[in-house]
Amino acid sequence: MAHSHEHLSASRPSLRQRIDPVLRSGVSRLMAAGLVSALLWAVLLWVMNAS
């Protein structure tokens, strides 16, 4: 997969430059969403255990 990706970036750098920032923002958004959901689950489990 990495090799084909490198080949793509070599043949069409404009496409890579367009996709890269979108990919990065998407990944950071996913990580933030995962962090929030993990915190919510932790709080939920803690409340259920406490009661």
CA nearest 16: which of 27, 5, 30, 25?
5
Q: What is the C-alpha to C-alpha distance for residues 15 and 27, in angstroms, rounded to an integer?
A: 18
Task: Please write the tens of the pLDDT for every residue from 3-45.
Answer: 655 555 556 568 878 888 889 999 999 999 999 999 999 999 9
**Sequence spans of domains, the chain:** 2-50
Which DSSP symbol is given to 12? -
pTM of the model: 0.51
Q: What is the C-alpha to C-alpha distance for residues 24 and 37, in angstroms, rounded to an integer?
A: 20
Model confidence at 2: pLDDT above 70: no
pLDDT of residue 15: 80
- Amino acid letter, residue 36: V
